[in-house]
Structure 1
């Protein structure tokens, strides 16, 4: 789920946000946006167009270096975005394939590796997005974020948890509700 990816980003930046509270909001915004941005390719070639599991690291490392050498709200937000977007793409391989109904048709395509021009196979540690174990991971990752971040981020995180749980409840029914052009 995109929310799981956003919560992963928040957990990654939480220690920095705790140590450097002046950058907490920038780190959180970068992490949340980086966690959901790769899934904007859902209407294109999903997990290929905006997912960069290998080359994303080549963007994330310099972004972190720039943020470390010249910290500002902009540089730390960009670094959080780059790291979280890369982690999103890389971690899609630990889940299921990209099919709409992974419990019926199992593909061997998790996320596209642009360097090797091939698909990385799914590991299926989390069977599919919205699976009960995905919801459990999302909730577990949201807890540290709720402890570290405050203000307007608290209802955003709580809302993300609610979205995660609702999505997990209806995920298997979504296939029947999905327009043919999205399949």
Structure 2
């Protein structure tokens, strides 16, 4: 899935707080956005979906952070919990997408996301065929609805920018491998 889809999912996680605890909702949404994008910084490590993708560890840490947020609901504790839940969701949902191949619409790679405690890769399910597939854009759009309608300010702005980036990325996605092989190698 696109990083923007993961970010929108993180904002959507915080949507219930817009009703239950509106004073904490913007911080939770921004943390969810950040947590949704964070694992993909491992693209720069050469070990994508392994270096910063920790589906088990983020989930365990999110449980602890959630307990802390429930016991002492401050902006910081709630933001920490939503960051971790969003990062965990990112890692888990990466297995729903394609593999790590340069042209994921030509499925040749069976690595979806690495599970460190098990010491193995979870195979990609390809429910979202590849990052930047049309169905990925639909998913990004659906998960962006809370960011567009329940929030304002920075959350809404980031959501609009994320959707715009998503549309452009989907439009050029199948051309990117050619650009990479021509200019980056």
Q: TM-score, normalised by structure 1?
A: 0.95
Name the CA distance, whole Å, in 1 between partners of 2:52 and 2:182. Answer: 22
Report the equivalent of 2:3.
Answer: 2
Structure 1 residues 19 and 59: CA distance shift in structure 2, 3 A: same
Report the equivalent of 1:79.
Answer: 81
Report the equivalent of 1:39.
Answer: 40
Greater Cα offset, 111-120 or 11-20 = 11-20
2:132 is the counterpart of 1:123: no
Return the match for 2:100 from 89, 98, 101. Answer: 98
2:22 is the counterpart of 1:54: no
Q: TM-score, normalised by structure 2?
A: 0.94
Name the CA distance, whole Å, in 1 between partners of 2:40 and 2:184. Answer: 13
Return the match for 2:151 from 146, 149, 154. Answer: 149
Name the CA distance, whole Å, in 2 between partners of 1:85 and 1:182. Answer: 29
Structure 1 residues 180 and 69: CA distance shift in structure 2, 3 A: farther
Shift of 1:180: 8.1
Name the CA distance, whole Å, in 1 between partners of 2:113 and 2:184. Answer: 17
Report the equivalent of 2:26.
Answer: 25
Name the CA distance, whole Å, in 1 between partners of 2:117 and 2:5. Answer: 26
Task: Say whether the 8 Å CA contact 2:30–2:155 is kept in structure 1.
Answer: no
Name the CA distance, whole Å, in 2 between partners of 1:86 and 1:152. Answer: 23
Greater Cα offset, 1-10 or 17-26 = 17-26
Greater Cα offset, 82-91 or 12-21 = 12-21
Task: Say whether the 8 Å CA contact 1:18–1:148 is kept in structure 2.
Answer: no
Q: Which runs of 5+ in 1 are unaligned?
A: none
Q: CA RMSD in A?
A: 1.7
Name the CA distance, whole Å, in 2 between partners of 1:35 and 1:178. Answer: 25
Q: Which runs of 5+ in 2 are unaligned?
A: none
